[in-house]
Amino acid sequence: MKINIDKFIFSFFIYGVIFFPGMLMLLYDNLGSNYYGIIVIVSLVIVFKFIFNHNELFIAKKTFSSIFIIAGLIGFHLFIAVNLFELEKEENIFKILLSLLSLVAIFIACIFSINSLLKIDDNAFLNIVNNIFNILLLVGIYSSVMMVLGGKTDKRMLFFTEPSHYALIVTIFYAYKIAIKKTNIIYCLPLFIIALCIQNLSLIIGVTFAISINFLRLRTLLLIPLILVPLYTIAINVISQDRLDYYFQRLNISENSTNTSTLTLMSGYEQAYLALKDSYGFGFGLQRMGYPNNRGSFVDIIGLLRDGNTDSNLHDGGLFISKLTVEFGVLGVGFFLYVTMLGVKNINTRCLKSKFFSMVLVMSLMYFLLRGSGYFTPSAILIFMSIVFIKAHRIKNMESE
């Protein structure tokens, strides 16, 4: 049987960036980052393209130029930032430049995989997306059962180091499932149950957000309470007080909170504000968060709760908008607004592929504003892929007219 190379390359890339980095981190505890898993997948996609599809390695001159112009601007911004705000002793300029080269490689891999996707029919694409969602659902169910039965003492979820990372991905696919068929809203039931079992507020927020953006009309939005109220009633009566206390603590957004996840969120916004003020809106440069920037007062509170340890989320701020703002200032905020507008602008398209990637960008509001961890994560790669696809699809449509 002849293998469809384009389907293989796209499938390998999207499956790989979603499942492999977390699995690698769980197998090797000392890694501490998704970076290594992402780079392995990116490298293999580029190699596969050279081996199996070398006749189609062509990248449009405009696209190729855009990648290196953006990389050059990031490098130039870094050069100015380093001169304005000197490198700390702990900083390594070569490591920063390696990150920049890695981002270039990621965008090249995104272009190769998207070029392959454009040659795949809609049915094949839907099969890939549905299979990923089904796997994610099974991962959630398995982890929930193990946690409820006492078989798991931590919150790691097979391919995800923590439930919030799982929530960021599964809610994208859930939102898309509703977008293509409204009756798929029913999947909120197992997802809410999973969220309650694994104690994850991000998943509850993500599922609710996915439903909301697909049912923006008032009459259909009224259905949400009809679903949430019974679930809430069941939760109050079935779930232990200790588990419920977790949610009450997460919702306490103040300096008096004792939940370090909530404090990390507030710290991220505080660091973004301080960076804008201290750098006059310029930012401190690529991969420099956690070094020259003022970390603020919430970090001190976190340190008190963690026996003096303030290293958690040192270099990402706990949310993507914080990292972007600290490192790129107003340009980082501009990127966030651009991604949001790009997603909203294309969300009502009839093209199944465009709808998926538009949904990725809209749902990425959670990654930007609630729970993000840098440029080398599954969520970030999906954002980059979405930008590349929407631009490539638009160019393809213009050429066909």
Has residue 262 got a pLDDT over 60?
Answer: yes
* pLDDT score of 249: 56
* pLDDT score of 184: 93
Most confident of 99-108, 155-164, 367-376: 99-108
Percent of the chain with pLDDT over 90: 49
- 185's tokens: 């809203």
User: Could you tell me if residue 334 is inside a domain?
Assistant: no
* pLDDT score of 245: 57
User: What H or E segment, with its residue span, contains residue 83?
Assistant: helix 61-84
| End-to-end Cα spacing for the chain | 36
User: Could you tell me if residue 133 is inside a domain?
Assistant: yes
* pLDDT score of 106: 95
Question: Which of 84-88, 123-127, 217-221, 317-321 shows the lowest mean pLDDT across its residues?
Answer: 217-221
Task: Give tens-digit pLDDT for 378-389.
Answer: 999 999 999 999
pTM as predicted: 0.88
Overall domain count for the chain: 1
- Does residue 318 come out as left (phi exceeding 0), alpha (psi in the -120 to 50 range) or beta? left
Work out the number of other CB atoms within 10 angstroms of the CB of residue 284: 24
User: Could you tell me if residue 212 is inside a domain?
Assistant: yes
- 134's tokens: 């089904």
**What average pLDDT score do residues 6-10 get?**
92
**What average pLDDT score do residues 112-124 get?**
92
User: Could you tell me if residue 110 is inside a domain?
Assistant: no
Confidence tier at 236 by pLDDT (50, 70, 90): very low
User: Could you tell me if residue 179 is inside a domain?
Assistant: yes
In Å, how far are 139, 144, 157, 166, 223 from 19, measured between CA atoms?
11, 18, 11, 10, 33
Confidence tier at 31 by pLDDT (50, 70, 90): confident
Question: Which of 138-147, 180-189, 297-306 shows the lowest mean pLDDT across its residues?
Answer: 297-306
| Host domain of residue 168 | 122-251
Axis-axis angle for helices 93-117, 35-52 (nearest 10): 50
User: Could you tell me if residue 45 is inside a domain?
Assistant: no
* pLDDT score of 294: 84
**What average pLDDT score do residues 207-226 get?**
69
* pLDDT score of 123: 94
The residue ranking higher by pLDDT, 103 or 300, is 103
User: Could you tell me if residue 100 is inside a domain?
Assistant: no
* pLDDT score of 230: 57
In Å, how far are 33, 81, 89, 295, 318 from 328, measured between CA atoms?
22, 9, 21, 16, 16
Helices (H) and strands (E) counted in the chain, each on its own, are 18, 0
Nearest-angstrom CA–CA distance, 299 and 244: 26
Confidence tier at 38 by pLDDT (50, 70, 90): very high
Nearest-angstrom CA–CA distance, 366 and 399: 34
Report the Cα 149 to chain-centroid distance in Å. Answer: 30
Nearest-angstrom CA–CA distance, 343 and 276: 26
**What average pLDDT score do residues 371-375 get?**
85
User: Could you tell me if residue 165 is inside a domain?
Assistant: yes
pLDDT, averaged across the chain? 84
* pLDDT score of 88: 84
Confidence tier at 248 by pLDDT (50, 70, 90): low
